Structure 1
Amino acid sequence: MSNRNTRPGRRPRQRQARGASMVGRRFEAEVGPVAHGGHCIVRVPTGSEVEPAETRVVFVRHAIPGERVVVEITEGTEGDRFWRGDAVEVLQASSERVEPPCPYAGPGPGLCGGCDFQHVTIAHQRELKAAVVREQLARLAKIDVPVTVEQVAGDEDGLRWRTRVQWASGPGGTRGMRAHRSTTVIPVEDCLIARTDAREVPGPAGVVTEQVVTAAGTHSFAVDADGFWQVHPGAPRVLVETVLDFLDAQPGERVMDLYAGVGLFARFLADAVGPTGRIAAVEGDRDAAKHAQGNLAGIPGVRVECGSVDKVLATSFDEPFDLVVLDPPREGARREVVEQVVDRAPRAVAYVACDPAALARDVAFFAEHGYRLERIRAFDLFPMTHHVECVALLTRDR
């Protein structure tokens, strides 16, 4: 669970400096709307006698829209298009602001800062995430749809939900978390978003069994102890049930499950289409694909193919499919995969997305081929952070 962003003393990545560094400069400003990535947009004055009204956009963490704060710049030089910063002092607080439950939350030295929204009420966190999803769909896909981020059973008021934890090792072997956008390890005794029985990753090598109980039935899945599996305990059930509801698979239909992992969606869809149906599952990770083969073994009409999704679709399964599940990594499916999917002419596509920007971009690609966004649900599977999981239903425009 260590943050994979890096900043050893504020050094995320090497960029060519465009003028003097602004790091450490402070500005008093009003906080604007929430932005993708756990930030809010703030504009600070950078004008001169020649252009006194000139401002610079700063992506600010630890703030809430509508507040008045003191922003300290953490990244940026004079000539950059935008800067990054932290709200280090709150002058006028939002009514949605709360004291973070975790003593390591927030900006500043000695703090983890990995949770974006611990300073926000849990209900407003979901409102902020919904605003981001709406904004991305409006900006990138040119569609305006209502979005509500739904609570999912399995956490404790937004805490104690991570079933797996990746600790960083600090000086003297101390256990901790990496500070936001940094390699600096902050000693942490207890991470409050982790379950007390969370499995440490990396840990002992081996295979674990995950049981998923849904309204459609119960199945167990073998997965590597350090392999991908949803970290919120309520995630597998709510995602499976939503995909099944959206697709409404019928006996005998042909289904393609892309980025299939260990076969979570494929297993339940196989029940829905029955022995006369067909399931084609494609997964790029060799170990996950091997587990998918075991988890789906003995089911009539099921085939698991290991390989990059775009390359597999370029050479295999070149025939019509009724339904498609897309569950890509954070970067999304991208145009090439979308075009290969629509080439199979499915009546419906269920797109499971962990990044709203990638989802919106791919929805726009689907629209170019006559598929429209019919339904979308968003789930709070990562409370206290900016992350949100969406399931979108795309259908052919008749």
Structure 2
Amino acid sequence: MTHQPDRPADRTDETAAEEERPVVEVGAPAHGGHCVARLDGRVVFVRHTLPGERVRIAVTDRRSRFWRADAVEVLEPSPDRVPSVWPEAGPGGVGGGELAHVALPAQREWKSQVLAETLRRIGGQQVADDVAALTGPAGPRVVGLPGDDERGGLGTRTRIELTVARDGRAGMHRFRSHDVLPLTQLPLADRAIVELGLLGTDSPWRRTWHPGSRVEAVAPSEGEPLVLVDGEPATPGRRRGKGPARRSVREVVPSPVGELHYRVSGSGFWQVHRRAPEALVRAVLAAAALEPGQSVLELYSGAGLLTLPLARAVGEDGRVVTLEGSASAVRDARRNLHDHPNVALGTGLVEPGTVAEGGQGCDVVVLDPPRAGAGAGVVEAITALSPARIVHVACDPAALARDLAAARAGGYVVVGLEGLDLFPHTHHFEMVATLERR
């Protein structure tokens, strides 16, 4: 018995006959939300499938070294396949829900396998051996956050971005395309965002935007949701410029060093999962193991999510020096750290020279780089400071693997690794790695 993967409701099937589409046996998951298959000896990265499945595919991209494809018919389904929680992110649909057809426990197993394999393949066997010494045969694990199992991983996102389609409806881009597909549902979004009524032909927000507009919706932990249209605050049914002047939101984060209060620009960076800020603060504080009076260098410090608890952990006699490339993020951080004189906020690119200048005498280095990672030059500058401990927060396993390899070359090995599933129903996840000099 065959199975048709869930597809967007308004998708038109390709004209090619189904029987002309090739059938492949699906192998292991790979970084990026697809699984590896082979067709006539060629590597094919297949989305919307699961390891062990036999599927019919539609090739979406042909390159000299590999092809990309969507599974459009499942001939032999995996026991971990479930009805998609977001059909509009299925084959031919929008990006951002590529694991929506996978049972939640299997999603975490998928991510754990990807983490282990990426560390070995890109970080090298020595890095893989270091991690294996920590984790044992089970390998590194990616775990869910409290409450996600009960909600099926749905309704976790407190920040979403939409683009307005040609017909004036809000939607998202088709995967690997500039086409905008109008949406009818937002199953991953926080209920407060869903209740704004941004979607559909009768949305009260349609007077605030035009085709091509960028819409940002934020559901903070404290206060009312905020909607920005092309960067400007908006109110349903009213033209932009006539709405509220509020451009920032307030966030409250429980932590081991007390309740943390933040003010963040609506268009600024903040973790999207409702429980992610608390989870990351707890993980970083545990990894850093700070004592009062110590000195911390924090790189890529953003709006101060980690800076504030780090400053409290080292106390008045300690010191936190930060470096962040985004001037707007540093402005947010100044608001959030205004009553902490033990913090020196720096604005500038994180480069080997700036790391060497700002990190002299630090006991611990904490870094939370963008998806590309810190890079070998920055990691080399960090290890040259000889801190007692390095805490690396990463959102991409390949980038983390490269940074760990560079750290190992500088004399530091992994002594702790935690994987956090902050992005259910997608291939993304977060990692917190602790390194010490070997």
Where on the TM-score scale, by shorter chain, does this alignment land: which range? 0.7 to 0.9
Q: Determine if contact 1:31/1:68 at 8 Å carries over to the other structure.
A: yes
Shift of 1:299: 1.6
Q: Unaligned regions of 5+ residues in structure 1, if any? A: 1-8, 10-23, 46-54
Q: Unaligned regions of 5+ residues in structure 2, if any? A: 1-11, 13-18, 133-138, 194-217, 219-226, 234-245
Shift of 1:318: 5.1
* Counterpart code for 1:132: V
Q: 1:113 to 1:225 in 2, by over 3 A?
A: closer
Corresponding residue of 1:216: 257
CA distance in 1 between counterparts of 2:254 and 2:170 reads: 34
Corresponding residue of 1:107: 91
The alignment partner of 1:31 has SS state of: strand
CA distance in 2 between counterparts of 1:137 and 1:209 reads: 37
Corresponding residue of 2:121: 139
* Counterpart code for 2:272: V
Q: 1:312 to 1:221 in 2, by over 3 A?
A: farther
Q: Determine if contact 2:412/2:436 at 8 Å carries over to the other structure.
A: yes
Q: Deviations over 1:181-200 (max 9, x none)?
A: 11111111221111121324
CA distance in 1 between counterparts of 2:45 and 2:65 reads: 11
Corresponding residue of 1:59: 45
Corresponding residue of 2:21: 26
Q: Determine if contact 2:141/2:419 at 8 Å carries over to the other structure.
A: yes
Corresponding residue of 1:340: 381
- Describe how 1:29-44 pairs up with structure 2 within 5 A: 29-44=24-39
Q: Deviations over 1:116-150 (max 9, x none)?
A: 11111000000000101101111122214321111
Please, which of 176, 179, 182 is the counterpart of residue 171 of structure 2? 176
Shift of 1:113: 4.9
Q: Determine if contact 2:417/2:432 at 8 Å carries over to the other structure.
A: yes
Taking only aligned residues, the RMSD between alpha carbons, in angstroms, comes to 1.8
Identity over the aligned pairs, expressed in percent?
A: 43
Q: Which segment is superposed worse, 313-322 or 140-149?
A: 313-322
- 1:151 and 2:144 matched: yes
Corresponding residue of 2:72: 88
CA distance in 2 between counterparts of 1:103 and 1:95 reads: 19
Q: Deviations over 1:43-84 (max 9, x none)?
A: 001xxxxxxxxx10011100101111112110015xx11010
CA distance in 2 between counterparts of 1:210 and 1:25 reads: 53
Q: 1:312 to 1:282 in 2, by over 3 A?
A: farther
Q: 1:314 to 1:218 in 2, by over 3 A?
A: closer
Q: Which segment is superposed worse, 335-344 or 84-93?
A: 335-344
Q: Determine if contact 1:148/1:378 at 8 Å carries over to the other structure.
A: yes
Corresponding residue of 1:278: 319
Q: Determine if contact 1:313/1:340 at 8 Å carries over to the other structure.
A: no
Please, which of 370, 376, 389 is the counterpart of residue 417 of structure 2? 376
The alignment partner of 2:423 has SS state of: coil
CA distance in 2 between counterparts of 1:341 and 1:37 reads: 29
The alignment partner of 2:191 has SS state of: strand
The alignment partner of 2:378 has SS state of: helix
Q: Determine if contact 2:352/2:377 at 8 Å carries over to the other structure.
A: no
Please, which of 253, 258, 268 is the counterpart of residue 294 of structure 2? 253
Q: Which segment is superposed worse, 381-390 or 263-272?
A: 263-272
Shift of 1:302: 1.2
Corresponding residue of 2:54: 68
CA distance in 2 between counterparts of 1:175 and 1:301 reads: 45
- 1:189 and 2:230 matched: no
Q: 1:90 to 1:215 in 2, by over 3 A?
A: same
The alignment partner of 1:194 has SS state of: coil
Q: Determine if contact 1:168/1:175 at 8 Å carries over to the other structure.
A: yes
TM-score (normalizing by structure 1): 0.87
* Counterpart code for 2:94: C
Shift of 1:112: 2.5
Name the one with the larger helix percent.
Answer: 2
The alignment partner of 1:89 has SS state of: strand
CA distance in 1 between counterparts of 2:97 and 2:339 reads: 43
Length, aligned pairs only = 362
The alignment partner of 2:415 has SS state of: strand
The alignment partner of 1:41 has SS state of: strand
CA distance in 1 between counterparts of 2:278 and 2:192 reads: 20
Q: 1:314 to 1:384 in 2, by over 3 A?
A: closer
The alignment partner of 1:394 has SS state of: strand
Corresponding residue of 1:241: 282
Shift of 1:275: 1.1
The alignment partner of 1:316 has SS state of: helix
Q: Determine if contact 1:203/1:226 at 8 Å carries over to the other structure.
A: no
Q: Determine if contact 1:176/1:188 at 8 Å carries over to the other structure.
A: yes
- Describe how 1:279-318 pairs up with structure 2 within 5 A: 279-310=320-351, 313=354, 316-317=357-358
